[in-house]
């Protein structure tokens, strides 16, 4: 890993976010890997893994898929990357 930052919520010009139906999603960490790819990490305990909030945050999986393999999303159960 090249570097990582704790993504702080709603910091003007400093926070990474993805759109949700009713606001924004601020993942917990944003990382740059040594090969230049971006890794976004959202940690949820197992008790919260299937709640409505977590379901809506699956937008991150779509974001990773659309990045043409330049971005990864990890939600505590393993990095998700589109298969070739």
Dump pLDDT digits (tens) for 9-58: 888 888 999 888 888 888 899 999 999 999 998 876 655 555 566 666 77
Number of structural domains (the chain) is 1
SS3 for 54-78 is: HHHCCHHHHHHHHCCCCEEEECCCC
Cβ(31)–Cβ(1) below 8 Å:
yes
Is 84 contained in some domain?
A: no
Which structure tokens are listed for 37? 């790819």
The structure tokens 């890794």 sit at 39
pLDDT, tens only, 34-43 = 999 999 988 7
pLDDT at site 59? 72
Examine residue 82 and state whether it is found in any structural domain, yes or no.
no
Q: Is residue 67 part of a domain?
A: yes
Is 9 a domain residue? yes
pTM confidence score? 0.71
């Amino acid at each position: 890993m090249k570097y990582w930052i704790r993504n702080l919520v709603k910091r003007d010009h400093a926070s990474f976010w993805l759109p949700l139906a009713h606001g924004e999603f601020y993942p917990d960490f944003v990382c740059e890997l040594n090969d230049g790819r971006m890794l976004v990490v959202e940690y949820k305990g197992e008790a919260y893994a299937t709640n409505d909030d977590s379901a809506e945050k699956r937008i991150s999986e779509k974001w990773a898929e659309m990045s043409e393999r330049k971005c990864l999303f990890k939600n505590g159960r393993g990095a998700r990357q589109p298969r070739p």
